[in-house]
Structure 1
Amino acid sequence: MSAARTVAVGGAVPYSIEIGPGLLDDGARLAAHARGRHALLLSDSHVAPLYAARVEAALRAARPDLRIAAHVMPAGESHKTLASFAAAIDALAALGATRDATVYALGGGVVGDLAGFAAACWMRGVDCVQLPTTLLAMVDSSVGGKTAVDIPQGKNLVGAFHPPRAVFADTGALRTLPARELRAGLAEVAKYGAIRDPLFFQWLEAEREALLAGDDRVLAEAIARSCEHKAGIVERDPLEKGERALLNLGHTFGHAIEAEQGYAGVGSDALNHGEAVAVGMVLAARLSAALGMAPDEDTVRLGRLLHALGLPIRLPAGLAPEALLARMRLDKKNLAGRLRLVLWRGIGRAEVVPDVDEARVLELLAD
Structure 2
Amino acid sequence: MTTVHVALPGRAYDIHIGAGLLEAAPDLLRPHLRRPRLAVVTEERVAAAQGEALRARLAAAGIETLMLVLPPGEGSKDWATLGRTVEWLLEQKVERNDLVLAFGGGVIGDLAGFAAAILRRGVRFAQMPTTLLAQVDSSVGGKTGINTPQGKNLVGAFHQPVVVIADPALLSTLPHRDLLSGYGEVVKYGLLGDAAFFGWLEAQGPHLLSDPALLEQAVVRSCEMKARIVERDETETGERALLNLGHTFAHALEAATGYSDRLLHGEAVAVGLGLAFDLSARLGLCAQEEPSRIRAHLQAMGMKARLSDIPGPLPDPESLLALMAQDKKAVAGRLRFVLARGIGQAFVTDDVPQEAVIATLRDG
Q: TM-score, normalised by structure 2?
A: 0.96
Give the Å deviation of 1:310: 1.5
Q: Per the alignment, in what secondary structure is the counterpart of residue 347 of structure 1?
A: coil
1:235-259 Cα offsets, whole Å, 9 max, x none, are 1100001110000000010010001
State the aligned residue count.
Answer: 357
Which of 312, 337, 340 pairs up with 2:336? 340
Q: Which residue of 1 aligns with 2:13?
A: 15
Q: Residue 251 in 1 paired to residue 252 in 2? A: no
C-alpha contact 2:195 2:344 (8 A) present in aligned 1: yes
Which amino acid is 2:361 matched to?
Answer: L
> Quick check: 305-314 or 116-125, which moved more?
305-314
Give the structure 2 partner of residue 51 of structure 1. 50
Q: How much has 1:31 moved relative to structure 2?
A: 2.5
Alignment of 1:263-302 (within 5 A): 263-264=259-260, 268=261, 270-302=262-294
- Determine helix, strand or coil for the equivalent of 1:336: coil
| SS of residue paired to 2:329 | coil
CA contact (8 A) 1:339 1:357 kept: no
Please name the residue that 1:134 is paired with.
Answer: 131
SS in 1 for 2:141: coil
Contact 1:112 1:147 in 2 (8 A): yes
Q: Which of 120, 124, 136 is the aligned partner of 1:123?
A: 120
Amino acid across the alignment from 1:337:
G
CA offset digits 1:188-223 (Å, max 9, x no partner)? 0010000000100100011011113x2010000000
Deviation readout 1:315-366 (Å, 9 max, x if unpaired)? 1352121221111001111100011100100100000011321121112112
The DSSP-based 3-state class of the residue aligned with 2:45 is coil
Moved more, 25-34 or 252-261: 25-34
Shift of 1:24: 1.5
Q: Kindly indicate whether residue 80 of structure 2 is the aligned counterpart of residue 83 of structure 1.
A: yes
Trace 1:1-367 onto structure 2 (pairs within 5 A): 4-12=1-9, 13-26=11-24, 27-62=26-61, 64=62, 66-212=63-209, 214-264=210-260, 268=261, 270-315=262-307, 316=310, 318-320=313-315, 321-367=317-363
Question: Residue 318 of structure 1 aligns to which amino acid in structure 2?
Answer: P
Q: Distance in 2 between matches of 1:31 and 1:52?
A: 18
| Residues 55-95 of structure 1, C-alpha deviations (whole Å, 9 max, x = no match) | 12222222x2x443110110000111111111110111111
Amino acid at match of 1:15: Y
Give 3-state SS (helix, strand or coil) of 2:67's partner. Answer: strand
Percent of paired sites with the same residue: 51
CA-based RMSD of the aligned residues comes to 1.1
* TM-score normalized by the length of structure 1: 0.95
5+ long unaligned stretches in structure 2: none
Q: Counterpart amino acid of 1:346?
A: G
Aligned partner letter, 1:319: L
Shift of 1:25: 2.0
Distance 2:179 2:95 in 1: 37
Is the Cα contact below 8 Å between 2:58 and 2:64 reproduced in 1?
no
